[in-house]
Structure 1
Amino acid sequence: MGGLIQSSTAKKFAMALSGLFLVLFLAQHFTINLTSVISPEIFNELSHFMGTNFFVQALLQPVLIFGVVFHFIMGFVLEIKNRNARDIGYIKFKGSANSSWMSRNMIWSGLVVLAFLALHFYDFWVPELIHKYVESSPVEPDVSRYYDDLVMKFQSPIRTGLYVIAFIFLMLHLLHGFSSSFQSIGWNNKYSKGLRRFTVAYSIIIPLGFIFIALFHYINNL
């Protein structure tokens, strides 16, 4: 059992599960953010619910943070192991002949996404904690502030540009990682081809949707 846990197959399986969990969160996050383009009131209500609901804050949020940390740590571990295996097992490794650019550079696209998450936490999560536990009274929560906080973040062309670049790298990361997650958990049946099309569509549409939201608010701020 110990050998199984330490094997590359088990690590890939665990990483795939954490990746699929993060993909679900990404869809939920996109859905809420998209309402900021449609209705500020709905966005405020949904954001307030997510920011004050006990189940979300006490259970889902810690699980999400753990999933992010676990996924990236496991990615670094597997990347180091794969690089060592290539150095030892091959006289000359031709990556372009055996794999796509996206699969060979998952570590770099992952690092960009990780840097973006750090910026995102700095922009939204840290101010949220300060507002709830330092500046504001929990008895009278401000339900209408979420939309204004979101729009304010996209006043800067530099910050908006960083978000756009980050979501382009997220797209590249998902284009390989999302479909590979199903392969890692052993998904191989008559639905595999359709699932592959879905993962490609998701990997393109969701990041482009986030880019649209950022540019929409930036242009409206001009």
Structure 2
Amino acid sequence: MGGFLKSSVARKFAMALSGLFLVLFLAQHFTINLTSVISPDVFNEISHFMGTNFLVQALLQPILIFGVCFHFIMGFVLEIRNRRSRSINYVRFNGSANSSWMSRNMIYSGLVILAFLGLHFYDFWFPEIVHKYIQSHPEDATRYYGELVAKFESPVRTGLYVLSFIFLMLHLIHGFSSSFQSVGFNNKYSKGLRGFTVAFAIVIPLGFIFIALFHYINNVQ
């Protein structure tokens, strides 16, 4: 694996695959969270299944954590190598002449998303681990909705979530479509796929923003 990732093309390919994997998780995560504005009971049922199913906890969750870490580490590696390459090969590099703002600032939007993941883990994943494995509370299939809603009582925390999803949108608008290019997807369907990735990059973060604001507004009423 180390030899494979020494190639620039291989690093971009691996980065793209990890990004596509995380996009699938994002779509699943959004679908589950959306049920919280439709039916608390359904949200509790799905969340309880995800939180207690052996395959999800013992297999999919470690794979997801590895995917997140790999994607961000590879992103930093590519950014550092790209900066070194530009400083060596170009006396004057004018990035805005041949690339979009989003493509030139993927590292910064990625850093904001990484900080958000830290907050999200602090809000949900760490309390879940403490609840189940440290404090050893009995299973309660009805607790998930209340725990979710409680996180959106604060306008500051809700604002941080909204801001993070805006940066996620900017990151996805460039990153999602670029992932397909990096894995070699280039045919007559490319234009349509580009439209789909842009729509996904806008709709899903806006959906998360809607969920956060929905629960915050309900809390203050």
Q: Which amino acid aligns with 2:155?
A: P
TM-score scaled by length of structure 2 = 0.97
Counterpart in the other structure of 1:124: 124
Deviations, residues 60-86 of structure 1 (Å, cap 9, x unaligned)? 000000000000000000000000000
Deviations, residues 82-105 of structure 1 (Å, cap 9, x unaligned)? 000000100110011010000000
Separation (CA, whole Å) in 2 of partners of 1:184 and 1:163: 30
Counterpart in the other structure of 1:170: 168
Specify whether residues 4 and 59 from structure 1 end up closer, same or farther in structure 2 by C-alpha distance, changes over 3 A only: closer
How many residues end up aligned between the 2 structures?
220
Q: Matched residues, percent identical?
A: 79
* Structure 2 SS opposite 1:50: helix
Corresponding residue to 1:216 among 198, 214, 217: 214
Deviation of 1:2 after TM superposition, in Å, equals 7.1
Q: Which amino acid aligns with 1:100?
A: S
Separation (CA, whole Å) in 2 of partners of 1:10 and 1:218: 44
* Structure 1 SS opposite 2:141: coil
Counterpart in the other structure of 2:194: 196
Deviation of 1:134 after TM superposition, in Å, equals 2.4
Q: Superposed, which structure 2 residues align to 1:1-222 within 5 Å?
A: 4-137=4-137, 140-222=138-220
CA RMSD of aligned residues (A): 1.1
Q: Name stretches of at least 5 consecutive residues in structure 2 with no aligned partner.
A: none
Deviations, residues 123-169 of structure 1 (Å, cap 9, x unaligned)? 000000111112234xx410000000000000000000000000000
Q: Name stretches of at least 5 consecutive residues in structure 1 with no aligned partner.
A: none
Q: Which amino acid aligns with 1:45?
A: E
Separation (CA, whole Å) in 2 of partners of 1:170 and 1:76: 17
Q: Which amino acid aligns with 1:204?
A: I
Separation (CA, whole Å) in 2 of partners of 1:84 and 1:129: 41
Deviations, residues 152-187 of structure 1 (Å, cap 9, x unaligned)? 000000000000000000000000000000000000
Q: Which amino acid aligns with 1:59?
A: L
Q: Which amino acid aligns with 2:120?
A: H
Separation (CA, whole Å) in 1 of partners of 2:121 and 2:5: 32
Separation (CA, whole Å) in 1 of partners of 2:205 and 2:104: 20
Specify whether residues 152 and 83 from structure 1 end up closer, same or farther in structure 2 by C-alpha distance, changes over 3 A only: same
Deviation of 1:7 after TM superposition, in Å, equals 1.1
